[in-house]
């Protein structure tokens, strides 16, 4: 296959490594920034045009949203590594089969995510100790969100297929369109003239994500290169490819879900300090999510880069790309962490004006922000492991430290010293431990030849 004729995809096995990774990751970063923009607009509109209880509901439901989205979305898009590998190896048939298998997986996971989200939402809200005054708002938001969750999932699937082929620009264009629609709908449905409150914010998110999903799917069905094109008539069960997709997708989905279980336990403990702590923690979390977007983009870029280059047998190039991405991620994360540490009093005020909420948010930032470098190392290392086909490594590392150990740590610390610092300190402690474990896999195991050895 002549990669140059495939103008709708980008070959990361040739040219400058640094430029290739940065050119790929920058649109991913902007796309993620816009996705966070959805959440920020919801939070800002609710915080300014609704009640503190409604804002607390938005803050506490984000973890539940990611529990469902994280598992089913991660499972559906984890298999994009298979597409990258076939593309790097020059296998047209493999690329086409993997594209259609990923899309089928997305449809199946959308259906499962809708059903489970609607069934589990009321029970999870009770389990995490959602205060009585916040409960109706949280339930309304989640029931509307999960009713239309397939729009979010199918956008993520379409986006991941394009990114696996090196195209990170078109998903960005579609998100720009839907972001503007989201802002307009938020202002109309939540603020004036309709005043639908938290339900309007959920509806705005579902509708605007649906538009970006339609645009992604339309793009995939209109590609000129037949082996890249999504053709609904070709969507069928392929056992061999589905095993590959599930083998890489399920660990990613499980990893996302178990992280969220750990975070739900943290959220439950945060809730025990009252509405002000919930709002402060929610505001800090939104700042951390934005600050960390460049690093998340780099970890996604390195997955595609490593996967394409290993598929093409370019081992030295894969190592150099992995090294650059990790260094870039760690250094930039620490710079952002220092800024976040000093600017947190001003940043928290963007989302809440309540003095007690601000106090909790700043306290959390001062405990966690200077440890962003170890969090970045963990994310970049996880991206490298997924790219080389060892998706179970990040799953087990994060399950062990970011879920099981985090739950044990918070439970013991709260029993010994029931103060907010006991909850907040769980993050830097578990980030550091996971990074030590990832360092072992990166420096002392032969991840580079894992796929080759597995195939033979």
Q: What is the 3-state secondary structure (H, E, C) of 52-89?
A: HHHHHHHHHHHHHHHHHHHHHHHHHHHCHHHHHHHHHH
Residue 261 φ then ψ, to 5°: -60, -45
Q: Sign of the C-alpha dihedral, residues 246, 167, 26, 328?
A: positive
13 CB neighbour count, 10 Å cutoff: 21
Please write the tens of the pLDDT for every residue from 200-221: 888 988 999 899 999 999 999 9
Mapped onto helix, strand or coil, the DSSP state of residue 82 is helix
pTM for the model: 0.81
CA distance 343 to 349: 10
pLDDT at position 440 is 96
In which band, very low, low, confident or very high, does the pLDDT at 3 lie, cut at 50, 70 and 90?
very low
CA distance 87 to 163: 12
| Complete DSSP assignment for 201-226 | HHHHHHHHHHHHHHHHHHHHHT-SST
Contact 423, 414 (CB under 8 A): yes
What does the domain layout of the chain look like in residue ranges?
11-455
In which band, very low, low, confident or very high, does the pLDDT at 191 lie, cut at 50, 70 and 90?
confident
Please write the tens of the pLDDT for every residue from 269-296: 888 888 888 888 988 988 888 888 888 8
CA distance 90 to 85: 9
210 CB neighbour count, 10 Å cutoff: 18
Which tokens in the block code for residue 64? 């539940």
**Non-local CB neighbours of 409 within 8 Å, separated by 6+ positions:** 426, 429, 430
Which tokens in the block code for residue 256? 């996302």
CA distance 205 to 209: 6
Please write the tens of the pLDDT for every residue from 36-92: 776 677 677 777 776 677 777 777 777 777 777 777 777 766 778 889 888 888 889
Please write the tens of the pLDDT for every residue from 386-415: 999 898 999 999 999 998 999 999 999 999
Peptide bond into 193 cis (omega under 30): yes
Contact 336, 291 (CB under 8 A): yes
């Amino acid at each position: 296959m002549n990669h140059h004729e495939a103008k709708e995809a980008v070959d990361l096995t040739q040219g400058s490594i640094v430029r290739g990774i940065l050119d790929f990751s920058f649109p991913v970063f902007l796309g993620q920034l816009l996705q966070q923009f959805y959440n920020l607009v919801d939070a800002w509109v609710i915080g300014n045009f609704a009640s503190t209880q409604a804002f607390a509901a938005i803050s506490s439901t984000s973890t539940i949203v990611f529990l469902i989205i994280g598992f089913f979305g991660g499972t559906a898009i984890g298999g994009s590594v298979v597409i990258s590998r076939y593309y790097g190896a020059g296998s047209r048939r493999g690329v086409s089969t993997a594209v259609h298998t990923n899309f089928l997986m997305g449809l199946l996971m959308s259906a499962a995510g809708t059903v489970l989200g609607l069934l589990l939402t009321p029970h999870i809200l009770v389990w995490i100790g959602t205060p009585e005054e916040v409960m109706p708002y949280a339930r309304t938001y989640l029931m509307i969100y999960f009713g239309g969750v397939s729009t979010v999932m199918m956008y993520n699937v379409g986006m991941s297929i394009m990114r696996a082929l090196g195209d990170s620009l078109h998903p960005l264009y579609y998100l720009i369109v839907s972001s503007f629609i989201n802002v307009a709908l938020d202002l109309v449905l939540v603020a004036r003239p309709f005043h639908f409150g938290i339900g309007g914010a959920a509806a705005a998110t579902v509708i605007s994500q649906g538009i970006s999903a339609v645009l992604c799917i339309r793009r995939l069905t209109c590609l000129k290169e037949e082996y890249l094109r999504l053709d609904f008539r070709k969507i069928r069960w392929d056992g061999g490819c589905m095993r590959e997709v599930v083998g890489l997708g399920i660990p990613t989905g499980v990893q996302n879900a178990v992280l969220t279980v750990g975070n739900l336990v943290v959220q439950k403990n945060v809730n025990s300090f009252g509405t002000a702590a919930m709002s402060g923690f929610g505001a800090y979390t939104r700042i951390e999510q934005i600050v960390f977007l460049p690093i998340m983009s780099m970890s996604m870029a390195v997955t595609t880069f490593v996967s394409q280059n290993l598929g093409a047998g370019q081992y030295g190039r894969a190592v150099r790309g992995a090294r650059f991405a990790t260094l870039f991620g760690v250094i930039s994360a620490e710079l952002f962490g220092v800024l976040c540490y000093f600017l947190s009093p001003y940043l928290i005020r963007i989302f809440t004006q309540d003095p007690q909420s601000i106090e909790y948010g700043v306290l959390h930032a001062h405990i966690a922000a200077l440890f962003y470098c170890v969090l970045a190392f963990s994310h970049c290392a996880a991206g490298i492991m997924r790219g080389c086909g060892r998706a179970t490594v990040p799953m087990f590392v994060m399950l062990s430290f970011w879920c099981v150990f985090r739950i044990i740590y918070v439970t013991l610390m709260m029993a010994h010293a029931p103060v907010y610092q006991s909850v907040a300190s769980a993050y830097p402690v578990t980030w550091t431990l996971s990074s030590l474990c990832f360092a072992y896999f990166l420096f002392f195991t032969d991840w580079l030849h894992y796929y080759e050895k597995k195939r033979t």
